[in-house]
Amino acid sequence: MQNKRAGIAGVGFYVPEKVLTNRDLEKMVETSDEWIRTRTGISERHIAEKGTGTSEIAAKAAMIALKNANVRPDKIDLIIAGTSTSDMPLPSCACLIQEKIGAPNAAAFDLAAACGGFIYALVTAEQFIKNGTYKTVLVIGADLISPFIDWTDRATCVLFGDGAGAAVVRPVSSGGILSSVLGSDGRHKDLLKIPAGGSKLPASEASVKNGGHYLMMSGSEVFKLAVRSMSDAVTLALANAKVSKEEIACFIPHQANQRIIDAVSERLGVPKEKVFINVQKYGNTSAASCIIALCEALQEDKIKKKDKVVFATFGSGLVWAALVMEW
């Protein structure tokens, strides 16, 4: 299987049952349904019950993907969990998922790239497939953001939702991943962060009182950098794959908010009818964003065999990525 391309054999996603609408948020913070929709495009998001771990929703998404790929859990060689919200600092979320789905033969590790987690994990899986190390890799993008949200801060609490998605990646003789671009710039580390809870600032009474465990974001700066970096990454990935913008059948950008999606699509010159959007239903699900969107695009028959599908993502770090594949 050496030097073969990597393709997706099956996908699946899961979101918690509880739905938090904009009307619900009106009762929690000073905001309105109209204010949220006009600025973000979001109408509702799914929120996990307290005490839920990321591994739980990830395992549910994984089992759906495995079923759709017709692959048994014991046939998985490797699990890569793209997440920044593991159940606990140790062990990894991937190991917890491995146990939950019953994949005794799989190596497992987490990959932290914030909202870029799924695409980063997919590119990593591709390398193991291409060099012949593994044949079947389970790639997961999952995050429970809700425990890290300050529900009194209307600038951030309206944006995010919880969710998980998974893809079974295997060698393919044609099509599959054609090119990818990964990038990062740590100089912008303070624009989007959760400052406390790590080795530098461990959890303490003071860190909790100071709100250090909540997500903090400089929205306007993040917007500008997200639009530029995703657009540039897609342009480079298309050039590397020798695919023109006109050949794009489905563009799946990170579902951060409607304004970013529109700005990136316009900058790239991708027609609206080719841009898949589901941010209105789920909000920003971080690492799960692109894979949930892919699942729904397939369900809605937006992607057909041989279609060129393009992904773009961006997240805390700052990190960004683009990927071109033939379905």
Q: β-strand 107-111 against 78-82: which pairing, if any?
A: parallel
| Selection from 53, 61, 271, 27 nearest residue 157 by Cα | 27
| Selection from 301, 291, 155 nearest residue 222 by Cα | 155
Q: For residues 251 and 165, what is the distance between their CA atoms, to the nearest angstrom?
A: 18
| Cα-based distances in Å from 318 to 29, 141, 187, 230, 277 | 29, 18, 8, 12, 23
**Cis peptide bond N-terminal to 91, omega within 30:** yes
Q: β-strand 319-326 against 19-21: which pairing, if any?
A: unpaired
Q: For residues 87 and 94, what is the distance between their CA atoms, to the nearest angstrom?
A: 10
Running DSSP on this structure, what letter comes out for residue 70?
T
What ranges make up the beta strands (E) of 60-175?
Answer: 78-82, 107-111, 137-143, 163-172
**CB–CB of 318/177 below 8 Å?**
no
Q: Which residues are marked as active site?
A: 115, 254, 284
Structure tokens that stand for 278 in this block: 């589901």
Burial class (CB in 10 A: 0-12, 13-18, 19+), 81: buried
**CB–CB of 122/326 below 8 Å?**
no
